[in-house]
Structure 1
Amino acid sequence: MAARQQPQGLGWLGIVRLGTVQAAIGAMVMLATSLLNRVMVVEYSVAAAVPAGLLAWHYAVQLTRPLWGHKSDQSRRRTPWIVGGMGILAFGAVLAVDATILMADPGFGAAILALLGFTMIGFGVGMSGTALLALLASRVSAERKPAAAAISWTMMIAGIVIAAGVSGAYLDPFSEARLAIVSSLVVLVAFCLAMMALRNLEDRNPPVLQPNNTGERQSFPDALREIWAEREARRFTFFVFISMLAYSMQDLIMEPFAGFLFEMTPGESTQLSSIQHSGILLGMLAAGLGGSLYTRYFGQNLKLWIALGCTGSAVMLAGLSFAATQGTEWPLVANVFGLGVANGIFAVAAVGAMLGLASKGSGSAEGARMGVWGASQAIAFGIGGLTGAVLVDQLRAATGQDAAAFQFVFMAEAVLFIVAAIVAVGTTLARSPVHERTFPA
């Protein structure tokens, strides 16, 4: 067979090594999206819109993802883009921690430093994340791509879980010195692990050849026009935006919710985030291991997985909305864990489809296509996170009731997830190219 003459791509160990890099990126980003958000709002009484605005800005910076992906396509070697992006991300995370500490006595310097730190985080995530996904898509054979999606994303979540759990355990009793030391160690360990995992990986594993991969000969505007002209890619971009908008609205309000209504300490609420991501990890693993049984009874269809994950997320968010009126009597930990499981099921299906479509275009290489979908996700995350935080701020000010504010926002998220499920059912989504019994993508 002709396919046997082509490079067979990364083995399972190589895929795990790339997953280690994903885990390192997730661990560093956790500081900005979870820990620093909580410290700003609860410990320093900063309006929730401030960290939300910074997070929205870091997502806006990630609109450069298609450009980074296209540049990595042209360079024909993606490791320097991953390493460079992770260096920028690490430095930006440390600056963001320093800016947060300065917010104990807020001023112009703290604002400028925070803006610089989150700008660097956005550039670093966009550059390293896009190049990493493109490397995964181009070095993994078609039959292993669905399983590679599961491995890399579960390892990313595992990195977030470990970093959040360890940092949460060592943050109490809270102090600025503890925050600086713990955060710096998270960044240092994550960066070093990523560098070891990347060593010689790309050089020793040639790309799996794609017959129509000519992205390196295209200009950046031409590559974007070609991607947008493809009906399947355009529909998938729209789906990514809607679903990730629903997915992201609770990101910046979960820990303040736990602090205000359940009286959790910074360490406890950070560990709650770890519990949620543990649920996401379990959901991803369950979706992967259940793939064979699923395809046997329901066929090779992505829609059911996405609809199941979206509907489950809506149910769990409705539970959190009700919890806002119940206080400490509500089983918050179980509810948040269930939300994570549902999110994990949904995320696996979306990522599997993304990897499957990345090498399917008529001309554009993997980097540019991953960049387009990454940019769509970044826009949705920026709008979603900022919208959730601003709504909580405004409703708390208007009603004078924390419970009512969080209740409304969680219910709004539940409705968005139902809309996302409807969009998934009515949209033609990609199927895994081959061997879908390996993993449900």
Structure 2
Amino acid sequence: MNTLSWSQIVRLGLVQMCLGAIVVLTTSTLNRLMVVELSLPAVLPGALVGLHYGIQITRPHWGFASDIGGGRTRFIIGGMAVLGAGAMLAAMAVPMFATSFGLGLTVSILAYAMIGMGVGASGTSLLALLATATAARRRPAAATITWLMMIFGIAMTAGLVGGMLDPYSPARLLQVVGAVCLIAVLLTAVAVWGIERSVRSVREADPAPFREGLTEVWQEPRARNFTLFVFLSMTAYFMQELILEPYAGLVFSFTPGQSTQLSGAQNGGVFLGMLTVGIVATGFRIGALRNWVVVGCLGSAVALAGITLVGPLGPGAPLVPVVVALGFFNGMFAVAAIGSMMALAGEGKGHREGTRMGLWGAAQAVAAGFGGLVGAAMVDLMRTTLTDVQAFGTVFLFEAGLFVAAALMAAKVMDRRVAPSTLVPGE
């Protein structure tokens, strides 16, 4: 059976990069514009982003559809097109809020629903193609490569878009978002074209009903405990996603372009954190993956405390270095968790790797929406009685506490025997 070559894995990583490039516009740039420029409550973009994450709970069903349909390519390209259209519609909705709140909200709800559908269809089908067409010895490395490329796409897009948006205007916003979405769709089509035909990537469907297979996986203690860890850690990971840029604008007087570049710097830190684990842990095989997860979670907690401490200093404070540190430890935790996830996916009864990955993916999506919404709602609530510095700082400290709890849970439920060498591709 033909399997994916390294060059084909990198090509599929370009698709993941495109997904990250579009999504960062909706979770960072548009979110900041609603809260700072339009003075809308932070819970509004939080609810919209939560909607797109909530819709992604259907990810296992998208994978099933591409399984029985015999063609993942059309789901990957079609999903990316829907995602791009949704992002463009979301950008169009931002200036509508200034003239008609009801119209802006209606268009935004439709847009973010499309974003969730697009990410679910394209992202799940992409991972399914990787899982079924990649040689077993290369799967962990393939997952790491595609994740790094996604982070690179997020960081690069945030940095470039941040520079292009200043001076901000609605027309400029539409031009920039439109260009990013068009490039992403075209690059996806070119990157994925012909790959599926060259490999035998579609397996015979599991005869057991979907619900029966999911129930069996949930009854596995290790799979269930790891699902709970994923939910807790990803809730902590995403709590700052919707409030960091507004924090930079309200407390440190960052412009829209500067706050978008801040998001790019943070994701640059994520990339460096992942790369560090890849080089130090994988290359030199130092430390178990569980230890890297724990260090990443604890380091993230310390960085969040630092972000809180620089708040009273106001404009001119060293916010960027502390945010980069947060990204670094976030990346360290995330890539080590991915390695553990790949190692655990093949454990348990039956051949249900896809079901386990789908379960953990759904837990991550729900946690992302829940964490972002809770963080935004907490900020809105506390800003009614506290200063901006105090309100945002309190939420960041609460998030730090969740990371500490996630570190303790990782130390308890993750297998200390899973070594970084599981990430090393064999030949």
Match of 1:241 in 2: 231
CA distance in 2, matches of 1:429, 1:205: 34
Q: Which among 404, 419, 425 is matched to residue 418 of structure 1? A: 404
Deviation track 1:21-47 (CA, whole Å, cap 9, x = no partner) reads 000000111111001001111111111
Look up the SS of the partner of 2:409 in the other structure: helix
- Greater CA drift, 265-274 or 66-75: 66-75
| Structure 2 equivalent of residue 19 of structure 1 | 13
Residue deviations 1:261-305, cap 9 Å, x none?
11010000000000000000111111111124653x53xx32101
CA distance in 2, matches of 1:150, 1:112: 38
**Partner of 1:394 in structure 2?**
381
Instruction: Name the structure 2 match of 1:283.
Output: 273
Distance change >3 Å, CA 263–CA 433, structure 1 → 2: closer
Mean CA deviation greater in 366-375 or 50-59: 366-375
- The aligned counterpart of 2:341 is 354
1:110 and 2:104 aligned: yes
Distance 1:16 1:250 in 2: 30
Q: 1-side partners of 2:160 and 2:334: how far apart?
A: 24
d(CA) in 2 for partners of 1:38 and 1:343? 21
8 A Cα contact 2:289 2:339, kept in partner? no
Distance 1:433 1:233 in 2: 18
Of 250, 273, 284 in structure 1, the residue corresponding to residue 263 of structure 2 is 273
- 1:124 alignment counterpart: 118
Shift of 1:251: 0.2
| Residue aligning to 2:393 | 407
C-alpha contact 1:73 1:366 (8 A) present in aligned 2? no
Q: Could you tell me how far apart the structure 1 residues matched to 2:343 and 2:79 are?
A: 24
Name the counterpart of 1:428.
414
* Cα deviation code 1:188-215 (max 9, x no counterpart): 111111111101112212249xxxx765
Q: Which amino acid aligns with 2:278?
A: G
Contact 2:281 2:420 in 1 (8 A): no
1:437–1:354 distance in 2 versus 1, CA, 3 Å? closer
> Which of 205, 214, 218 is the equivalent residue of 1:224?
214
Percentage of matched positions with identical amino acids: 47
1:370 and 2:353 aligned:
no
Q: 1:150 aligns with which of 124, 144, 150?
A: 144
Instruction: Tell me the distance in 2 between the aligned counterparts of 1:277 and 1:34.
Output: 12
8 Å Cα contact 2:252/2:317 also seen in 1: no
Tell me the alpha carbon deviations over residues 224-249 of structure 1, each in whole angstroms, 9 at most, x when there is no partner: 12221222222221111011011010
User: How far does residue 141 in structure 1 lie from its aligned partner after superposition?
Assistant: 2.0
Does residue 43 of structure 1 match 2:43? Answer: no
TM-score, length-scaled by structure 1: 0.91
Flag the 1:202–1:355 CA change in 2: closer, same or farther, 3 A: farther
Secondary structure, counterpart of 2:206 in structure 1: helix
Partner in structure 2 of residue 205 of structure 1: 199
For residue 321 of structure 1, report the CA deviation from its aligned partner: 1.1
- The two structures have a TM-score, normalised by structure 2, of 0.94
- Cα gap change, 1:367 to 1:292, in 2 (>3 Å): closer
Residue of structure 2 in register with 1:4 after alignment: none
Contact 1:138/1:359 (<8 A) preserved? no
Verify the 8 A CA contact 2:140 2:423 in the aligned structure 1. no
Contact 1:227 1:233 survives alignment (8 Å)? yes
Task: Flag the 1:214–1:306 CA change in 2: closer, same or farther, 3 A.
Answer: farther
Alignment-mate amino acid for residue 83 of structure 2: L
Q: Distance in 1 between matches of 2:219 and 2:205?
A: 15
Amino acid at match of 1:241: F
1:414 & 1:141 partners in 2: Cα distance?
38
| RMSD between superposed Cα atoms in Å | 2.0
The residue identity in structure 2 corresponding to 1:282 is L
How many Å separate the matches in 1 of 2:131 and 2:153? 21
> Which segment drifts farther, 68-77 or 269-278?
68-77
Q: Distance in 2 between matches of 1:332 and 1:433?
A: 35
1:87-113 Cα deviation digits (max 9, x unpaired): 221111111111112112233221111
SS in 1 for 2:242: coil
Match of 2:295 in 1: 308
CA contact (8 A) 2:265 2:323 kept: yes
Tell me the matched-pair count.
425
- Is the CA contact (8 Å cut-off) linking 2:55 and 2:113 kept in structure 1? yes
Provide the secondary structure at the position in 1 that maps to 2:199.
Answer: coil
Matched residue of 1:340: which SS?
Answer: helix
Unpaired runs of 5+ residues, structure 1, are 1-6
Q: Do 2:252 and 2:316's aligned partners in 1 also have CA atoms closer than 8 Å?
A: no
Distance 1:334 1:435, change over 3 A: closer
